[in-house]
Amino acid sequence: MDIEIRHCNNIVRAHITLTADKLNIKFAPNGTGKSTLSRAISCAARDDIQGLQALMPFRLRGENPDSTGPIVIGADGIGDVMCFNEEYVSQFTFQPDELISDSFNILIRNQAHAEREREIEEMTQKIRAVFTDHTELNSLIDHLQELSNAFRSTSSGISRSSTGMRGLSGGNKIHHIPAGLENYQPYIRSERRVEWIDWQTKGLEFSPLSDGCCPFCTGDITGKEAQIRQVREEYDKSTIKNLTAIIRLVENLGNYLTESARERLLAITMLQNGPEAEHIEYLVALKRQTDTLTEKLTALRGLNVFSLQEQQNVREVLTARLIDLQFFPDLQSELMQGITDRLNAALMDLINLAGPLQGKINRHRDSMIRLIAQHKTNINNFLTYAGYKYRVDIAGEGEQRKLRLRHIDFNGYVSGGSQHLSYGERNAFAIVLFMYECLSKNPGLIILDDPISSFDKNKKFAILEMLFRRASGECLKNRTVLMLTHDVEPVIDTLKSVRRLFSNQVTASCLRLSAGVIEELPVNDGDIMTFMQICKSITASADCEEIIKLIYRHCCKVSDEAAFCLIQRPYISKTLLTRRISPKGSP
């Protein structure tokens, strides 16, 4: 894959080559334009014209008669690009109750997981279709829940402090208007009665300011003041609001109740002096029916892979979800019977497939357990190998599983990772979790913009091992990865020191910037030499001065292994610049 970049920041022209399904390391000193290359390729791949224009060189932002601008050629077919850089790390948010947000989707829901979910969801689709076709079912569940909440249960029946009982306790004064207040009937029975009562009560507070004067119209209210005050004494805003809500709730339940049940409920709401013992007993019985039905309907509405994956006997669970309306005498309406018949039919179809469904669920559950154990082991091994005193756990159930952080000196979970993690620790977690996000989203190109240069040598190799040294489905191996770095150690490690560990998985090159043009020079293991090898080549040279040879002969006393460790960091740049860039014969 050949990509050409022109007129982006300090780059006049650059041509780089990417080998598909390999780690492509591009070594270059600071100031070469590595981040510019990363941004240019990312913007071009996602067709971000505005982002690309932001890379316009300053020299072209003034006079630009040829309308020259940033151009990227060859990035069209890359597809999605994910980039690890300073911006990604700065946006990396540690949550109070989990290490990162959406950790379940990043770590667990891979392509195979999603496919198994889809198969199970297809088998349960018929049941959800009943709720889709009968949209009023969702409203019914809400109304039944409202009824349950309005009449809160106690050991002796229904709590007197529940909103429903507070609304009914004083009787229905909307229907039974107290004597002397008949003139207020239009207001009391209007749809805005709660607002009117509130207005009336607040206005009355101002009557002491002027004796005998109406606070609303300033007319004479002598002889009528007692009647006005009676409104406040008889009608409480909260009570009328609760009563109105109960009446409206009975109306909403409408055709879902039997006619006799509806009449009994309406009769209770119309009582002049509030409910007696027999009325409360009926409300308790009705509440038990509606609570049980609500529980069954809610379970059916939420029937999916997560509600089933922990079940060891799916047939038994599904059978328990069947609805037999003979045990819900107040809900045996024609409408409710039709809905439950269809739900039960869909359930029976699923029960007949309980065997295959159980098999899919078992495989899905076992796969998730293995995946969780695998991710925990891999991340914790990395943390141990890199010398960090933290460990992770994946805790919770279903979609609520979260990546939690522990410290080896503390038994509980660490809350608020950003408060405790150092800069290096945050970066280490960020790059590892970036890898899992890449595995989840499967982009066409992964860019690592100077990912490990801030770490010490052991941590650098631990990160490289985590990113590229495990099975291909567990890391970035066999994916197209562009690593831009000013650190020579990844090049030496992958091509020389531990080459066998990265066999045929890495290509490397050196980027040289000259007069705005970036030249790419391939790097192979022959370009990397130990200090001992350099000394020998210089002392064997015929055109080297004797004093220089004498100095290097003295250096040969250093062991080959130790010399490589000392010289490996600066040598590759010297080798490439003298062997491949400088004119022949130059020092």
pLDDT, tens digit (0-9, with 9 covering 90-100), for 516-559: 999 999 988 778 877 777 777 777 777 778 777 777 666 666 54
For 123-135, the pLDDT digits (tens) are 888 777 877 777 7
23: three-class secondary structure by DSSP: strand
Give 268 or 579, the one with higher predicted confidence. Answer: 268
Highest mean pLDDT among 137-151, 171-185, 322-336, 545-559: 322-336
User: Which two three-digit tokens encode residue 94?
Assistant: 């540690």
d(C-alpha 155, C-alpha 153), whole Å: 7
Closest CA to 82 of 438, 436, 429, 427: 438
Bridge partners of residue 513, in order along the sequence: 518
d(C-alpha 325, C-alpha 341), whole Å: 10
Question: For 401-411, what is the mean pLDDT?
Answer: 85
* Residue 418: predicted pLDDT: 64
* Residue 399: predicted pLDDT: 67
The answer to whether 406 and 414 have CB atoms below 8 angstroms apart is yes
β-pairing, 445-449 with 81-84? parallel
| Dihedral pair phi/psi, residue 539, rounded to 5° | -70, -25
For 167-197, the pLDDT digits (tens) are 888 888 888 888 888 888 888 888 888 888 8
Give 417's pLDDT tier (boundaries 50, 70, 90). Answer: low
Mean pLDDT is lowest, of 27-36, 359-368, 396-405, 407-416, for 396-405
Indicate whether 209 pLDDT > 50: yes
The answer to whether 489 and 498 have CB atoms below 8 angstroms apart is no
Dihedral sign, Cα of residue 299, residue 300, residue 301, residue 306: positive
End-to-end CA distance of the chain: 35
Question: For 559-581, what is the mean pLDDT?
Answer: 42
* Residue 92: predicted pLDDT: 66
Give 327's pLDDT tier (boundaries 50, 70, 90). Answer: very high
Bridge partners of residue 448, in order along the sequence: 84, 483
* Residue 306: predicted pLDDT: 72
Mean pLDDT of the chain: 82
pTM tops 0.85 = no
Give 329's pLDDT tier (boundaries 50, 70, 90). Answer: very high
For 453-499, the pLDDT digits (tens) are 778 877 888 888 898 888 888 889 999 999 999 988 888 888 877 77
User: CATH 3.40.50 region(s) of the chain?
Assistant: 2-92+429-526
d(C-alpha 382, C-alpha 366), whole Å: 24
d(C-alpha 467, C-alpha 455), whole Å: 15
Give 150 or 328, the one with higher predicted confidence. Answer: 328
* Residue 132: predicted pLDDT: 74
Highest mean pLDDT among 61-65, 399-403, 418-422, 427-431: 427-431
Give 568's pLDDT tier (boundaries 50, 70, 90). Answer: very low
Give 322's pLDDT tier (boundaries 50, 70, 90). Answer: very high
The answer to whether 452 and 487 have CB atoms below 8 angstroms apart is yes
Give 429's pLDDT tier (boundaries 50, 70, 90). Answer: confident
Indicate whether 420 pLDDT > 80: no
The answer to whether 27 and 511 have CB atoms below 8 angstroms apart is yes
Residue located via tokens 């229904």 = 158
* Residue 33: predicted pLDDT: 92
Give 222 or 21, the one with higher predicted confidence. Answer: 21
* Residue 584: predicted pLDDT: 42
CATH number of 2-92+429-526: 3.40.50
Give 55 or 201, the one with higher predicted confidence. Answer: 55
Question: For 339-364, what is the mean pLDDT?
Answer: 87
Residue 355 burial (10 A CB sphere; 0-12, 13-18, 19+): exposed
117: three-class secondary structure by DSSP: helix
For 250-263, the pLDDT digits (tens) are 888 888 899 999 99
Give 583's pLDDT tier (boundaries 50, 70, 90). Answer: very low
